[in-house]
Amino acid sequence: MLKLSTSDPGFAAAFDALVGARREADADVARDVRTIVAAVRDEGDAALAAYTQRFDGHDLNDTGWRIERADCLAAYQGLSEELRDALDLAATRIAAYHAKQIPEDRDETDASGVRFGARWRPVDAAGVYVPGGRAAYPSSVLMNALPAKAAGVERLVMVTPTPKGEINPLVLAAAHVAGVDEIWRVGGAQAIAALAYGTARIGAVDVVTGPGNAWVAEAKRQLYGVVGIDMVAGPSEIVVVADGDNDAQWIAADLLSQSEHDPTSQSILITDSATLATAVADAVDLMIGTLSTKAVARAAWDANGAIIVTATLDEAIPLVNALAPEHLELACDADVAQGLFDRVRHAGSVFLGRHTPEAVGDYVAGPNHVLPTGRRARFSSGLSVLDFMKRTSFIACDADALAAIGPAAVALAEAEGLPAHAKSVALRLTR
């Protein structure tokens, strides 16, 4: 864990190094992924079966290619009532939040009589990738599938690897709650390629979202353009800005809630209280030992944790904007938090006040937990219904409207050396 103070003489350089540190895997997976993608494109289901045998250790023709909706219902019914209620509450709130993201169409006619506007429509089909193993989270199913449903996507496909044939019932229950239409037991780059190109069994989709390992991320990057994708995600991260009136235990838990995700996760506390800084560092050390995730949390905190002491809380804001964090907690009184938030330019999602731990956003608050990482909040946004919709603009002129704006189009087309452009307008200006 890195300790810094803005009053250190070397602070600027040390902070720049923290901002610039790359935590993303440098694995040279691009070539492997190209091979896999080409094989799935050319050989379809046969390639899927072969890669599944090789990477997941089971034969799809024995274990079955699909998971049926009845299996998802059974998984849901098999949960404790508490978990069912929690999933239902989460789904209801997430669906309600995203339903309000549907953009309004435009249809206007201006003073020249030119009618123009834009119309939003859902994509026909969307695919959600759900990892196997450590990161198989039902909350991710909800956060990816429900915006697609809210957008009005008619065919929602889930792909998920089932290593050695094992299925995660929580993921199936979440698929039931989210209304996923099809589930295929394939994962990795081969699953992304199947969704992008389609195979005999699996129909192609228009957009693929969802988290995955380096192979999955690279496949999405390579297939971007063949299919729409969400932003390629890197390791998770949180910045907690906290004044001295915080309970060190609460803040320690917040920091560790990122650290426990993955050894590459980053947690940074920025505080104007040296006392809190010390108390939180101590609380983290004690709390880690109590966690079932202690090995991961310890590795992440040691490698990527940081505590930065500032002279004032205001001094935290330029640091936050430079870090452009995925998650930002402003742990102070509500009015102070709001004042700080007003000056935040770059962050994926912000958690205001002392009673808003980031984890409520992971599960139940409503806004999406798929957020830009690795400083990408400078230019990109969390997942939304917009990722599952597209806009068609339109223009309509009658003869008078074309007479008003057409001559300028002719002049510009001629200046650009595009005579057919000019002619297509000029011919119509004569009547």
Binding-site residues, in ranges, read: 129, 190, 213, 236, 258, 261, 327, 362, 416, 421
Q: Interface residues for a copy of itself in 307-366 (CB under 8 A)?
A: 334, 337, 341, 344-366
Candidates 1-9, 11-19, 176-184, 370-378 — which segment interacts with a copy of itself by CB under 8 A? 370-378
**Shortest CA distance to 127 belongs to which of 36, 210, 221?**
210
355: its two tokens:
């009673």
207: its two tokens:
């957009």
* Contact present, 227 and 205 (Cβ < 8 Å): yes
Binds a copy of itself (CB under 8 A): choice among 54, 164, 221, 343: 221
For the bound state, the minimum distance from the C-beta of residue 65 to a copy of itself, rounded and expressed in Å, comes to 25
Among residues 61 and 392, whose Cβ is nearest to a copy of itself?
Answer: 392
For the bound state, the minimum distance from the C-beta of residue 57 to a copy of itself, rounded and expressed in Å, comes to 22
Q: How far is CA 179 from the centre of its chain?
A: 20
Binds a copy of itself (CB under 8 A): choice among 182, 254, 262, 272: 254
Helix pair 188-197, 30-43: axis angle to 10 deg: 50
386 lies in the binding site for a copy of itself (CB under 8 A): yes
Spell out a b/e string for 401-431, using b for 16 or more CB atoms within 10 Å of the CB, else e. Answer: bbeeebeebbeebeeeeeeeebeebbeeeee
Q: Interface residues for a copy of itself in 84-123 (CB under 8 A)?
A: 85-87, 89-90, 93, 97, 100, 103, 106, 110, 114-116, 118, 121, 123
Among residues 106 and 164, whose Cβ is nearest to a copy of itself?
Answer: 106
Interatomic CA distance for residues 164 and 153, integer angstroms: 32
315 as an active site residue: the answer is no
Q: Could you say which of 58, 98, 327, 369 is catalytic?
A: 327
Radius of gyration for the chain, computed over Cα atoms and rounded to the nearest angstrom: 25
5 lies in the binding site for a copy of itself (CB under 8 A): no
Q: Interface residues for a copy of itself in 124-183 (CB under 8 A)?
A: 124, 137-139, 170
**Shortest CA distance to 112 belongs to which of 352, 404, 406, 342?**
404
Q: Interface residues for a copy of itself in 269-298 (CB under 8 A)?
A: 287, 290-293, 297
| Backbone angles phi and psi of 371, in degrees to 5 | -135, 155
Among residues 248 and 270, whose Cβ is nearest to a copy of itself?
Answer: 248
The CA-atom distances, in angstroms, between 146 and each of 96, 208, 255, 325 are: 9, 14, 28, 24
For the bound state, the minimum distance from the C-beta of residue 73 to a copy of itself, rounded and expressed in Å, comes to 18
Q: Could you say which of 237, 260, 326, 358 is catalytic?
A: 326
Neighbours of 331 (CB within 10 A): 26
Candidates 56-64, 66-74, 181-189, 245-253 — which segment interacts with a copy of itself by CB under 8 A? 245-253
Binds a copy of itself (CB under 8 A): choice among 14, 73, 99, 405: 405
Among residues 69 and 421, whose Cβ is nearest to a copy of itself?
Answer: 421
Among residues 62 and 342, whose Cβ is nearest to a copy of itself?
Answer: 342
189 lies in the binding site for a copy of itself (CB under 8 A): no
355 as an active site residue: the answer is no
Q: Interface residues for a copy of itself in 26-85 (CB under 8 A)?
A: 82-83, 85
* Contact present, 30 and 221 (Cβ < 8 Å): no
Dihedral class, residue 152 (left if φ above 0, else alpha if ψ from -120 to 50, else beta) = left
Q: Reduce the secondary structure of 330-374 to three states and give it as a string.
A: EECCHHHHHHHHCCCCCCCEEEECCCCCHHHHHHCCCCCCCCCCC
Active site residues: 326-327
